[in-house]
């Protein structure tokens, strides 16, 4: 631990706490002092026997001179000594204190006046190792430095209560997500679903700076925690991946509302068919003559294989029916690489998720509409399975642990924006999923465009660089821990840095996210425990 030295050793105000309240600390340092926003400082209260911790939130030049314009006067340095009367005022946010039993407590009291302020070392943060979780994403950062001895780990048990990853382009979202996935593959405490339309998570590629990046398949020591379903035959053969297939029965008419802008008449049509299965709806629209359907229903001459659907649609205008028909044909044709009449791999996907694996849906070179189409269908099936499991809980003999699944939505503002009634399956997951062990990982560059009701459900915030003040204010107002005094730090975060606010860790932690390539290089060197260890080899 490095102790800050006073200019004047007899002056108890330099590097000593001089104000203010339970929610705000203030002290001064020499005008040559070297502190940074984000530095964590230790305030030692020998009177009470507590060690308080606070984070620097702002630094300002101050002096004891009555003349407010002293520093702009000619020859001010000659007439005003730059010694004890010129200093830097430090504003700090209390984080909490360690009591006499070594337990970290919320900051509900103030340190004694003039308690000493020091820069702590790694040993002073060992209490944090007791409250960290199990999903490692980086190391603790303080100001300009990092504490490699203090890894930052998120608690896996709180992730069904939703996680948000917020950052502008180029600040390291993809690197964070790959690092997060690698740790999930390592510990296998819950299932994680991701849809990748670019192929970057499977095999890697190029970063925004042009550097080569690795994919999840390159974490060879953790491959038993990864299941990939792909539409790419070359990758399937090269890496031993699974083929992705969804079928008509995975589809519901409400999926159209997510993929297209609809008129009110089209919405009414979709709502009228909500209770029909996809294996009936799609063949009906592919085979029927929409122009004459209404007349055939009214005349009682419809002779097709789906009379119940025809009766439901008999009152709709042929133009409305034809628009829906065209769109369904486009969906079937545009997604023919993985969408077919029968034979779905969704049950297999659910099995892997419930085996606590990272499940990656790889659809390279497919468009945004295909991405949302796949994600919508699989999310619905996950919610159905978990809702059914919750309903059956207590009816079965014996205790069955609830399976936990986290569903990642990239560019989440597309489906979780304010007033988006068309994205019902994702809203249900956001509002009710935690009851059934299903959480959302909301990834976005524009948190201000996410519905406030959805943000209020998120309990884990990973905040990376955000230049837009509106985005920062939205997050500061939504996080469960107070981020309002950390706005300057959020604004000045560099690439690969984050502030993580989550349940279980007592205060928002400034973090340097692991560089994925370096992180898995270390993981691949770890010796895995042999499954035969401890077994007798004799007969």
**423 in the same domain as 369:** yes
- Picking from 334, 356, 383, the residue at the C-terminal end of a domain is 334
Pair (330, 353) in one structural domain: no
Least confident of 22-31, 131-140, 152-161, 301-310: 22-31
Calpha distance 508→505 (Å, rounded)? 7
**Same structural domain, 319 and 370:** no
Is-contact 245 345, C-beta < 8 A? yes
| pLDDT-based confidence at residue 73 (cuts at 50, 70, 90) | low
- Specify whether 257 is located in the same domain as 238: no
HEC string of 415-435 equals CCECCCHHHHHHHHHHHHHHH
- Identify the pLDDT of residue 179: 96
Domain that residue 42 falls in: 17-120
Confidence of residue 477 (pLDDT cuts 50, 70, 90): confident
Q: Provide mean pLDDT across the span 121-149.
A: 87
Mean pLDDT, residues 260-271 = 91
Last residue of a domain, one of 120, 135, 159: 120
- The CA dihedral of 54, 58, 61, 65, to the nearest 10 degrees, is -60
Q: What is the C-alpha separation between 539 and 537, in angstroms, rounded?
A: 7
- Closest listed residue to residue 27, CA positions, set 89, 82, 84: 89
Q: Which of 6-10, 18-22, 428-432, 480-484 has the highest mean pLDDT?
A: 428-432
Mark whether 352 and 328 lie in a shared domain. no
Please state the pTM of the whole predicted model.
0.87
Q: How far apart are CA 430 and CA 104, in angstroms?
A: 32
* pLDDT band with cut points at 50, 70 and 90 for residue 12: very low
pLDDT at 330 over 70: yes
Q: Are 231 and 197 contacting, i.e. CB atoms less than 8 angstroms apart?
A: no
d(Cα 27, Cα 16) in Å, to the nearest integer? Answer: 6
Nearest-5° angle of CA 382, CA 200, CA 241? 60
User: What does the pLDDT read at residue 527?
Assistant: 60
Res 10 pLDDT > 50: no
What is the C-alpha to C-alpha distance for residues 233 and 223, in angstroms, rounded to an integer? 19
342 pLDDT tier (thresholds 50, 70, 90): very high
Residues 166 and 287 in one domain: no
Position 362 confidence tier, pLDDT thresholds 50, 70, 90? very high
| Number of structural domains the chain divides into | 3
At 92-127, the pLDDT tens digits run 999 989 888 888 888 888 998 888 888 888 888 888
Best-predicted range by mean pLDDT (76-85, 200-209, 315-324): 315-324
Q: Where are the beta strands (DSSP E) in 158-314?
A: 163-166, 191-196, 205-206, 212-213, 226-230, 242-243, 246-247
Same domain, 166 and 198: yes
Domain boundary among 303, 334, 365: 334
Report the mean per-residue pLDDT for the chain: 86
Residue with tokens 């890894």: 151
Q: Based on the fold, state whether residues 42 and 70 are members of the same structural domain.
A: yes
| Secondary structure class of 327 (helix, strand, coil) | helix
Residue 145 has pLDDT above 80, yes or no: yes
Q: Residue 152, Cα to own-chain centre: how many angstroms? A: 15
Mean pLDDT of 241-257: 93
Predicted pLDDT of residue 75: 57
Q: Can you say how many angstroms the Cα of residue 499 is from the centroid of all Cα atoms in its chain?
A: 12
Q: 409-437: per-residue pLDDT in tens?
A: 998 888 888 765 556 788 889 889 889 99
Q: What is the pLDDT of residue 539?
A: 37
Q: Residue 83: what pLDDT?
A: 63
Is residue 324 located within the same domain as residue 361?
Answer: no
- Please indicate, yes or no, whether residues 261 and 221 belong to a single structural domain of this protein: no
The first and second tokens of residue 440, run together, are 């959302």
CB atoms within 10 A of CB 169: 8
Per-residue confidence (pLDDT) for residue 280, from 0 to 100: 94
Whether 143 maps to a domain, the answer reads no
Residues 13-38, mean pLDDT to the nearest whole number: 80
How do strand 116-118 and strand 40-45 relate by DSSP bridges?
Answer: antiparallel
d(CA 26, CA 503): 28
Residue 173 domain flag: yes
203 shares its domain with 232 = yes
Q: What number is the average pLDDT over the span 488-499?
A: 89
**3-state class percentages of the chain: helix first, strand second, coil last, to nearest 5:** 35, 25, 40
């Amino acid at each position: 631990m490095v102790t800050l030295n006073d200019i004047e050793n007899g002056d108890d105000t330099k590097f000593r706490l001089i104000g203010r309240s339970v929610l705000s600390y203030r002290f001064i340092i020499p005008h040559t002092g070297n502190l940074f926003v984000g530095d964590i400082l230790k305030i030692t209260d020998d009177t009470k026997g507590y060690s308080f911790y606070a984070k620097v939130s702002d630094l300002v030049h101050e002096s004891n001179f009555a003349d407010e314009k002293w520093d702009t006067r000619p020859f001010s340095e000659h007439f005003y000594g730059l010694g004890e009367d010129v200093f830097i005022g430090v504003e700090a946010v209390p984080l909490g204190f360690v009591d006499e039993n070594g337990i970290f407590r919320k900051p509900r009291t103030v340190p004694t006046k003039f308690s000493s302020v020091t820069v702590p070392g790694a040993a002073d943060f060992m209490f944090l190792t007791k409250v960290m979780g199990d999903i490692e994403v980086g190391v603790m950062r303080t100001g300009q430095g990092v504490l490699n001895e203090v890894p930052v780990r998120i608690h896996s048990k709180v992730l069904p209560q939703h996680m948000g990853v917020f950052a502008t382009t180029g600040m390291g979202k993809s690197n964070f997500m790959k690092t997060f996935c690698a740790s999930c593959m390592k510990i296998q405490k819950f299932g994680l679903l991701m849809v990748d339309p670019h192929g970057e998570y499977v095999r890697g590629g190029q970063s925004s700076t042009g550097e080569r990046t690795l994919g999840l398949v390159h974490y060879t020591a953790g491959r038993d925690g990864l299941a990939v379903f792909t539409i790419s035959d070359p990758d399937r053969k090269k890496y031993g991946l699974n083929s992705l297939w969804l079928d008509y029965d995975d589809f519901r008419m409400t999926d159209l509302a997510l993929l297209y802008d609809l008129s009110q008449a089209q919405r009414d049509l979709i709502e009228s068919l909500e209770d029909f299965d996809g294996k009936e709806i799609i063949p009906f629209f592919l085979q029927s003559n929409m122009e004459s359907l209404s007349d055939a229903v009214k005349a009682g001459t419809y002779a097709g294989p789906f009379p119940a659907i025809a009766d439901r649609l008999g009152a709709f205008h042929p133009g409305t029916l034809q628009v829906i028909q065209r769109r369904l044909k486009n969906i079937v044709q545009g997604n023919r690489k993985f969408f077919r009449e029968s034979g779905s791999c969704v049950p297999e996907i659910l099995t892997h998720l419930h085996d606590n694996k990272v499940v990656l849906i790889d659809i390279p070179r497919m468009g945004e509409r295909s991405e949302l189409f796949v994600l919508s269908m699989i999310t619905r099936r996950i919610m159905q399975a978990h809702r059914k499991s919750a309903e059956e809980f207590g009816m079965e003999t014996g205790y069955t642990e609830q399976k936990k699944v986290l569903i990642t939505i990239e560019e989440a503002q597309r489906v979780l924006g304010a007033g988006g009634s068309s994205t019902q399956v994702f809203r249900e997951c956001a509002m009710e999923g935690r009851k059934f062990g299903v959480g959302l990982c909301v990834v976005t560059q524009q948190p201000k465009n996410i519905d406030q009701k959805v943000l209020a459900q998120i309990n884990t915030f990973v905040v990376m660089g955000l230049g837009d003040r509106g985005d920062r204010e939205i997050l500061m107002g939504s996080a469960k821990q107070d981020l309002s005094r950390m706005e300057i730090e959020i604004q000045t975060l560099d690439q690969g840095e984050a502030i993580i606010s989550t349940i279980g860790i007592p205060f928002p932690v400034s973090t340097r996210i692991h560089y994925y390539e370096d992180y898995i290089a270390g993981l691949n060197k770890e010796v895995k425990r042999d499954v035969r260890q401890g077994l007798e080899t004799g007969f």
